[in-house]
Structure 1
Amino acid sequence: MTLPLAGRWIAVTRPPEQATKLTAAIEAAGGAVISFPLLDIQALPDLSGFDQAITPLAQFDWVIFISSNAVQHGMPLLQLAGIPPSLKFAAIGPTTAASLQAFGITQVLTPQDRFDSESLLALEPLQVMQGQRVLIVRGVGGREVLAETLKQRGAEVVFGECYRRVNPQSSTQVLAQAYDEGKLQGIVVTSSEALRFLLDLAQDAAWLQATPLFVNHARIAEQASTAGLTVYCSGVSGDSAMLNLLQGQLS
């Protein structure tokens, strides 16, 4: 019996520590993985700005985490500051909520279908925010739609930025060579920022134009399509959905 991804080489652009399950699933399906991380998560060397933003923590009604990285870097700092029992927690998706559970936070507002700012903002508890103070824990930069919408609903919003995203790659030679050798049938991209880094490095390279991208969110798919690339979108997060997408298109 031939495995569904036999003979398929797939580049995975997640940080290695976040790609272990997907890598194992691709290999179990017969595929080969090229690890090409386009994001590296680094703690900020100076966290005085974060400490200043969250002090005192009791001023906030809500704290929203936009990623599991935000939880891993931010929660130890919040615990040091002393988390008041009245503080309510929200997360952008189930992976982030699961990371919070590891810190003992079990009551977390989380969207159930799509996992992005818009889906979180659609939830009933965040509709009327007049007089509410919200702390958004995130990396440096990022989308502003969450904060702007909460402000429009009457909330005061403070950013707690506790890490940064950098591109660890200096060139795409590894991917270009793999393509020339017939060993690049797809590239998995699950971050808008990672796609921007890829486009900046590869420019309009012929190998990138000829290699399909596999993404998990419509926003990333639109970004790739605008750049003229072939893109397939699972529409949902999760390794199983990505594996199904890969098998559906590459089998």
Structure 2
Amino acid sequence: MTRAIVITRPQAQAGELAQRLQDAGHAVVMFPLLEIHALADPAPLKAILARLDEFALVAFVSPNAIDATFAHVDRWPESVPLAVMGEGSRRTLMHHGVTPERYQITSPLDTRRTDSQTLLKVLKLDALRGRRVLILRGETGRELLGDALRGAGIEVLQVAAYRRAAPVLTPALADQLRMLLASDDSWIITSSEALQVVLGFAKAVDPEFGVVKLQQKNIFVPHQRIWETAQTLGFRHVCLTDAGDDGLFTALQLRP
């Protein structure tokens, strides 16, 4: 059986990387571990997006937050600066017509670790003190960015733009996972939450050996925090890549 690369991103975010890997001659298996859903009630989000000019900065926590927001925004006001965590989000903004040539976009300088901590290092906190910042995110998530901004004397409003959920472990999905656990594939994991989900799935489909089999897989992660989570959860073969699709692609090209 040909070794494959298992992509666990939500379906909507997996296509570009999958095509790139296939074009390079790799077999690819799609096995999404998270689903992205619209909000049950988007009214609070729409209400705040109608008042963007009240904010000194709008920060997006992920490409999903950007896509969910621009479902309700025809054109971003040029006077409102934006902040993002990494290159994937910058590309998503460009897809929606928000380019560095026309808009002020702040993102981490360290492309290997793109998260709240590295974004905070480049934000001009003194200029934001006493002003309002909007954080657009999922219904759940880390509080570090908001807490740090509040600690610097900045008024912060966090608003959900979408919700995440684990897929239902259907019989067909369970059968696919059993096949993957028995194969010698490499896995791309792009969130700590996905690691938790797949461990639960592995235990469900093979209570005796599923978790152990999964922990022996070669997994590729584009973020230090995911690498740390994987170590804590007992994964034995974890490769920390550079951030974004470029980092993942380069590391997978070099895999033995």
Under a length normalisation based on structure 1, what TM-score does the superposition of the two structures give? 0.85
Please state if 1:49 is matched with 2:55.
Answer: no
Question: Relative to structure 1, is the Cα distance of residues 117 and 221 closer, same or farther in structure 2, using a 3 angstrom cutoff?
Answer: same
- Partner Cα separation in structure 2 for residue 84 and residue 27 of structure 1: 38
Post-superposition shift, 1:99? Answer: 2.2
Q: Which amino acid aligns with 1:30?
A: G
Please state if 1:175 is matched with 2:177.
Answer: yes
Question: Relative to structure 1, is the Cα distance of residues 127 and 188 closer, same or farther in structure 2, using a 3 angstrom cutoff?
Answer: farther
Post-superposition shift, 1:48? Answer: 2.1
Question: Relative to structure 1, is the Cα distance of residues 186 and 17 closer, same or farther in structure 2, using a 3 angstrom cutoff?
Answer: same
Please state if 1:64 is matched with 2:59.
Answer: yes
Q: Which amino acid aligns with 2:219?
A: L
- Partner Cα separation in structure 2 for residue 246 and residue 64 of structure 1: 31
Tell which deviates more after alignment, 71-80 or 55-64: 71-80
Which residue number in structure 2 is paired with residue 190 of structure 1? 190
Q: Which amino acid aligns with 2:3?
A: R
**Contact between 2:56 and 2:128, CA under 8 Å: does it hold in 1?**
no
| Ranges of 4+ aligned residues in structure 1 off by more than 6 Å | none
Post-superposition shift, 1:98? Answer: 2.6
Which residue number in structure 2 is paired with residue 205 of structure 1? 211
Please state if 1:247 is matched with 2:247.
Answer: no
Please tell me the root mean square deviation across aligned C-alpha atoms, in Å. 2.4
Post-superposition shift, 1:85? Answer: 4.8
Which residue number in structure 2 is paired with residue 21 of structure 1? 16
Q: Which amino acid aligns with 1:11?
A: V
Tell which deviates more after alignment, 236-245 or 145-154: 236-245
Please state if 1:109 is matched with 2:102.
Answer: no
- Partner Cα separation in structure 1 for residue 244 and residue 211 of structure 2: 29
Please state if 1:92 is matched with 2:85.
Answer: yes
Aligned-partner SS, 2:72: helix
Q: Which amino acid aligns with 2:87?
A: P
Q: Which amino acid aligns with 2:18?
A: T
Question: Relative to structure 1, is the Cα distance of residues 139 and 12 closer, same or farther in structure 2, using a 3 angstrom cutoff?
Answer: same
Post-superposition shift, 1:210? Answer: 2.1
Which residue number in structure 2 is paired with residue 147 of structure 1? 146
Post-superposition shift, 1:208? Answer: 0.5
Post-superposition shift, 1:54? Answer: 4.8
Residue from 197, 221, 225 that aligns with 1:219: 225
List gaps (5 residues or longer) in structure 1.
1-5
**Contact between 2:59 and 2:133, CA under 8 Å: does it hold in 1?**
yes
Residue from 228, 236, 240 that aligns with 2:242: 236
Question: Relative to structure 1, is the Cα distance of residues 77 and 197 closer, same or farther in structure 2, using a 3 angstrom cutoff?
Answer: same
- Partner Cα separation in structure 2 for residue 150 and residue 173 of structure 1: 46
Q: What pairs up with 1:67-82 in 2 under 5 angstroms?
A: 67-79=62-74
List gaps (5 residues or longer) in structure 2.
204-209
Question: Relative to structure 1, is the Cα distance of residues 178 and 155 closer, same or farther in structure 2, using a 3 angstrom cutoff?
Answer: same
Post-superposition shift, 1:127? Answer: 5.1
- Partner Cα separation in structure 1 for residue 116 and residue 174 of structure 2: 31
Question: Relative to structure 1, is the Cα distance of residues 190 and 129 closer, same or farther in structure 2, using a 3 angstrom cutoff?
Answer: same
**Contact between 2:5 and 2:26, CA under 8 Å: does it hold in 1?**
yes
Percent identity between the two aligned chains: 35
**Contact between 2:38 and 2:162, CA under 8 Å: does it hold in 1?**
yes
**Contact between 1:53 and 1:159, CA under 8 Å: does it hold in 2?**
no
